[in-house]
Structure 1
Amino acid sequence: MINVLMIEDDTEFAEILSEYLAKYNIKITNYEDPYLGLSAGIKKYDLLILDLTLPGIDGLEVCKEVVEKYDIPIIISSARSDISDKVIGLQIGADDYLPKPYDPKEMYARIQSLIRRYKKSTNTTESATANPDSDFRVDEKRHQIFLKEAPLNLTPAEYEILSYMIKQNGFSISREQLVYNCSSLKDKGSKSLDVIMGRLRSKIGDSSKNPTYIHSVRGIGYKLVG
């Protein structure tokens, strides 16, 4: 799950965005009061969505303080149309600027893109697993996935998709989420994802009708269990 800190005094707008992003395993914790937001333990969040028109302090000042103290991606979300706000925000360290109003789908895409870039910049090549109790283990250094310590013979696309699902640690994953995060999937409208899922199920001894690991989630996409 991606944990997002939001500092936004429009509670109705924050609630709408929160409800939409929750479908994609993105949890938003919003603070109307920017001072409470700044003291909310920023290090435990993956990303900050920041409004500029806030009570008591300008959002650009909040942005500057966060950049000076923390290493966290920042998306400014503002109805202020002055181009200078956008320029200053990006100059002082914000990573993206999304003017209101916008479709929540665009914010979702920006979050995914920004998180992906940050992960690449801080990624280690050590062997890793998302859940120590999982039957799966990902060895990123060797580009290998093990099921109950037996190596799986996977294509690059299969490895990319399965490793992403393992890291989501049992949460539902939308088809769109897989497309955004897996470079092997270029065409959202194609059947390539279904084909790859079929091959993965076969390689891990799973059944689409009575699955042990890869479950289809109606209206969303897939979930990896175990």
Structure 2
Amino acid sequence: MKQKNILVVDDEQKILEVIASFLESQNYQVFQAENGAKAFEIFEKENISLIILDLMLPDLSGEEICKKIRRTSRVPIIMLTAKVEESDVLEGLEIGADDYITKPFSLKELIARVKAVLRRTSEEPVPLFNKNSYNGGDLILDFGKDLVLKDQKPVNLTPTEFNILTTLIKFPGKVFTREELIEFALGSGFEGFDRAVDSHIKNLRQKIEDNPRSPKYVLTIHGKGYKFGGE
């Protein structure tokens, strides 16, 4: 198994050394940074698999670092902090953290969290079956053949429409913002405006919904984005 690279960011040298020593004993490659600037320097050079990020740093806050990283990367982030208020935890998760550990913590808890987050995020989600059927066969998506059937008839989707649909299906229950759909479904080469996603969604609904004005597959979650609703 390929060794995972973990970046630990904390301004307390003792904590850095203890975490690094323990993770290395668990066969991880560890990089250490005592501030935000050093963290970004390492992140840009190395292929980092996970970041353990303290919120209280001398130059940039952990929240600022998390937000900046999330603009370009889905690398898992575990926030490490002495803040224990629920509002602080929720804020960290809302800006893109994958998990949250409060100080003091045990190394046993830390490694359990690290393994759990890496397990969840190690691979791009894939459907349980190559051929997925929804609503009693009303909509069928065959990933092996890149084929979509509506009422047993092939649907001619554009590549963009197909990518949006498959992305929604691969992340069941997740609500995607327009920006996330651009990142996950359309890719970094997309040069349109985020509102262009709405047009693709509208066209997709015209092709796979019985009533595009009252969709059952591509659902709008008002104020947030879109999610898949097939059963």
For normalisation by structure 1, the TM-score amounts to: 0.53
Counterparts of 2:173 and 2:215, CA distance in 1:
14
Deviation at 1:211, TM superposition (A): 1.9
- Name stretches of at least 5 consecutive residues in structure 2 with no aligned partner: 54-58, 77-117
Q: Could you tell me whether the CA contact under 8 Å between 1:137 and 1:146 is conserved in 2?
A: yes
Paired residue total: 171
The CA deviation string for residues 191-212 of structure 1, in whole angstroms up to 9 with x for no partner, is 4211111111010124453222
Bigger radius of gyration, 1 or 2?
A: 2
CA-based RMSD = 4.8
- Name stretches of at least 5 consecutive residues in structure 1 with no aligned partner: 1-46
- In the TM superposition, what are the counterparts of 1:77-226 in structure 2 within 5 Å? 79-80=34-35, 83=38, 94-95=48-49, 100-101=60-61, 102-112=64-74, 119=123, 127=130, 129=132, 136-147=139-150, 150-183=153-186, 186-187=190-191, 189-226=193-230
Counterparts of 1:208 and 1:78, CA distance in 2:
51
Deviation at 1:176, TM superposition (A): 1.2
Q: Which gives a bigger RCO, structure 1 or 2 (Cα 8 Å, sep 6+)?
A: 1
Identical columns (%): 18
Counterparts of 1:183 and 1:163, CA distance in 2:
11
- The amino acid that maps onto 1:215 is L
Aligned to 1:64: 24
Aligned to 2:96: none
Counterparts of 2:42 and 2:147, CA distance in 1:
43
Deviation at 1:219, TM superposition (A): 1.6
Q: Could you tell me whether the CA contact under 8 Å between 1:51 and 1:59 is conserved in 2?
A: no
Counterparts of 1:49 and 1:84, CA distance in 2:
8
Counterparts of 2:71 and 2:39, CA distance in 1:
24
